């Protein structure tokens, strides 16, 4: 299959596929007479793995590690589980941060009666005079 087909099959853009190849995540495929990339089933499977991992929020470095671990089915999966648990912990941190931000913003939004900048509770929250709040 050609790169466009592989992209459609995996939900990945052509540019991203070439980027993954340059990054060493996806091995360079054979070329046809026109110098077009020609992919095999193994490429489709590997790219699917990468796509799913990215969709689950793993970084490319984590994906690299997951691929390495996944390549040997006899290995212990402890490493995979550690990477995943660490990733969950990161997500928890982000969730906590975002929730705090959201709370602060919504509180301000709700209390703002306008009508002008001078009375705006959001601007007030941002302005240094309110620093003692």
How far is Cα 29 from Cα 17, in angstroms, rounded to an integer?
Answer: 11
Binding string, residues 57-86; x marks residues near Zn ion by CB under 5 A: ----x---x-----------x---x-----
Interface with Zn ion (CB under 5 A), residue from 1, 69, 70, 112: 112
Q: Shortest distance, CB of residue 70 to a copy of itself, whole angstroms?
A: 5
Binders in 28-47 for a copy of itself, by CB under 8 A: 44-45
Partner in contact with 76, chosen from a copy of itself, Zn ion, DNA, none, beta carbon below 5 to 8 Å by kind: a copy of itself
Sign of the Cα pseudo-torsion (105, 108, 109, 114, in order): negative
CA distances from 41 to 29, 38, 47, 105, 126 (A): 11, 10, 10, 49, 54
If one asks whether residue 23 binds Zn ion (CB under 5 A), the answer comes out as no
H/E run at residue 31: strand 30-31
């Amino acid at each position: 299959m050609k790169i466009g087909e592989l992209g459609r099959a995996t939900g990945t853009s052509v540019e991203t596929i070439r980027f993954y190849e340059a990054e060493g995540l996806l091995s360079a495929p054979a070329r046809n007479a026109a110098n077009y990339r020609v992919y095999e089933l193994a490429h489709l499977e590997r790219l699917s793995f990468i796509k799913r991992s990215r969709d689950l929020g793993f970084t490319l470095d984590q994906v690299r590690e997951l691929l390495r671990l996944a390549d040997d089915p006899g290995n212990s999966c402890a490493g995979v589980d550690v990477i995943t648990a660490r990733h969950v912990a990161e997500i928890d941190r982000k969730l906590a941060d975002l929730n705090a931000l959201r709370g602060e913003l919504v509180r301000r939004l709700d209390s703002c009666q306008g009508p002008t900048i001078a009375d705006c509770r959001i601007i007030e929250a941002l302005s240094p005079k309110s620093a003692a709040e």
